[in-house]
């Protein structure tokens, strides 16, 4: 066996895992009839535009969370916690990036979703996907952590995570992560926000429509919620409303 130093490009991942140790996750999942999403993506393609599945999920979820301030919230503190609800909706979306030759997970925060269009969401995701982790302003904070000692960087990360008023900017008010580009049907993830959505692939499956079984594109969607902030009934409402919004999508 040979030991190697922990890769500095992934230092922020360890800090994030330290931050979510107090998280009390409960996991839900559902299946979404993705017919409307597939049709919308095809319309966009014919128009010379791009629409990712994640952009639909982000946009639909933002509309739902704007109506659920209890879930569009964050908590900080132990035995005497403070819960903040936000009048703005922001999504943290994970990105699969390569940094200095190493594959890493980074994130982008899409602000102001209560007034953003689907095209606005897609434009932000496209910019973030194309951004270079080594130079882009988007990832300047992550690069700054690398310049500090481990102890200093961890303390700085914890301090930032504790600023409830800055959560919409730093971590978003909800998270979306997707592994749907591979043969992953469903998964559950904790994104450090009260609500985290996990997006699986779209695959043709049998579904019941008007008493008949037909084949339709289906996407599995999971929701993890922090039980310290909301209870299961609220989380179930949020997931169901997101499912309904995605199935009835009209651009």
Write out pLDDT tens, residues 43-81: 999 999 999 999 999 999 999 999 999 999 999 987 789
> Quick one: which of 122, 65, 84 has its CA closest to 239?
65
Q: With 70 as the cut, is the pLDDT of residue 251 above it?
A: no
Give CA angle at 130 (185, 16), nearest 5°: 60
The pLDDT, as a whole number, for residue 250 is 77
pLDDT band at 5 (very low <50, low <70, confident <90, very high): confident
> Quick one: which of 135, 133, 128 has its CA closest to 99?
133
Work out the mean pLDDT of the chain and round it to a whole number: 94
Average pLDDT over residues 195-215: 94
85's torsion region: left (phi>0), alpha (psi -120 to 50) or beta?
beta
Distance between alpha carbon 53 and the CA centroid of its chain, in Å?
12
Distance between alpha carbon 221 and the CA centroid of its chain, in Å?
12
First to last CA, the chain: 55
Average pLDDT over residues 202-229: 94
DSSP annotation of 113: G
> Quick one: which of 172, 69, 59 has its CA closest to 115?
59
Query: For residues 198-226, b (16+ Cβ closer than 10 Å) or e, as one string?
Result: bbbbbeeeeeeeeeeeeebbbbbbbbbbb
Average pLDDT over residues 191-211: 94
The pLDDT, as a whole number, for residue 51 is 96
pLDDT in tens, 104-149: 999 999 999 999 999 999 999 999 999 999 999 999 999 999 999 9
């Amino acid at each position: 066996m040979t030991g190697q130093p922990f890769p500095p490009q992934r230092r922020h991942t360890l800090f994030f895992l330290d931050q979510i140790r107090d998280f009390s996750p409960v996991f839900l999942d559902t299946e979404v009839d993705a017919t409307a999403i597939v049709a919308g993506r095809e319309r966009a393609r014919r128009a010379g535009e791009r629409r990712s599945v994640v952009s639909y999920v982000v946009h639909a979820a933002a509309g739902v969370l704007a109506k659920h301030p209890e879930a569009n919230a964050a908590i900080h503190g132990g035995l005497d916690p403070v819960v903040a609800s936000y009048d703005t909706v922001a999504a943290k979306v994970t990105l699969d990036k390569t940094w200095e030759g190493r594959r890493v997970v980074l994130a982008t925060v899409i602000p102001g979703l209560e007034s953003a269009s689907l095209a606005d969401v897609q434009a932000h995701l496209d910019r973030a996907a194309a951004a270079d982790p080594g130079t882009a302003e988007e990832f300047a904070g992550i690069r700054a952590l690398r310049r500090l000692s481990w102890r200093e960087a961890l303390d700085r990360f914890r301090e930032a995570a504790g600023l409830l008023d800055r959560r919409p900017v730093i971590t978003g008010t909800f998270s979306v992560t997707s592994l749907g580009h591979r043969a992953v049907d469903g998964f559950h993830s904790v994104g450090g926000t009260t609500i985290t959505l996990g997006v699986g692939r779209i695959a043709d499956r049998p579904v019941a429509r008007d008493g008949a079984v037909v084949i339709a594109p289906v996407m599995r969607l999971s929701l993890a919620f922090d039980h310290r902030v909301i209870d299961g009934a609220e989380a179930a409402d949020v997931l169901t409303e997101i499912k309904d919004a995605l199935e009835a999508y009209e651009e």
